[in-house]
Amino acid sequence: MILKEKKIYQRARDFSTICIKNKDGIAMIESMIALGILVIGLVGTMELISRSLSANRLIADQYIASYLAAEGIEVVKNLIDANKIQGNPWDQGITTGNADKALDFETTLCPSPCPSPCSPKPKRLCPYATTNINLVYTTSSGVYDYIFTGPPPDPRYNRFKRRVTINQPASDEIQVISRVDWTTRSGATFSLEVHDHFFDWRP
């Protein structure tokens, strides 16, 4: 009787030991699974953050490009207004020569013929082919313009090019297309266009 009780006790103790070992193995597997899920979650979060930052940079570039394109239209409007104020034909000096122009907020009407190169200030309404350079952001003034002389600008601030195309489909109509091209830090290229029409409606 005592021998049977010892055997039963021994079997119970062995079974308990096996159960404890099995529990340790299961706990280790559960820990590895939990760690794997955590790593996958972190990787997904980091990927989401990276994509969000890239999207934010693209949106910021599109925001700048839209304003630069709109500025190109506005400069042409100002040149038309200057002609009317000075009593000149409304399209004088605007539609002559190459349709593609390079201009910024300092651009003035070019005397005929247009001087070459179009470098010293005051800046003139120049053919785009002669100034196929990027607009430069000047940190001191906070504006984008063309710099023809001096040291090369910081490439971080001159990723945008603007080409303003001026056509005259009729004697009383001017069509303006302001196109901005830029390259992102990753090397991708984008473009944005703004179209407008001006008419000789004032006497």
83-116 core/surface letters (b: 16 or more CB in 10 A; e: else): beeeeeebbbbbeebebebbbbeebbbbeeebee
pLDDT tens digits, one per residue of 184-196 = 877 889 999 999 9
Q: What is the pLDDT of residue 36?
A: 74
pLDDT tens digits, one per residue of 14-49 = 545 544 445 555 667 767 777 777 777 777 677 766
Q: Which residues pair with 127 in a beta bridge?
A: 101
Quote the CA–CA distance of 144 and 194 in Å, as a whole number. 18
Short-list 109, 99, 119, CA closest to 179: 99
Helix (H) / strand (E) containing 174: strand 173-183
Quote the CA–CA distance of 22 and 33 in Å, as a whole number. 17
Q: What is the pLDDT of residue 175?
A: 93
Q: What is the pLDDT of residue 130?
A: 57
Q: Is the pTM of this model over 0.75?
A: no
pLDDT beneath 50, residues of the chain: 2-4, 8-9, 12, 15, 18-21, 120-122
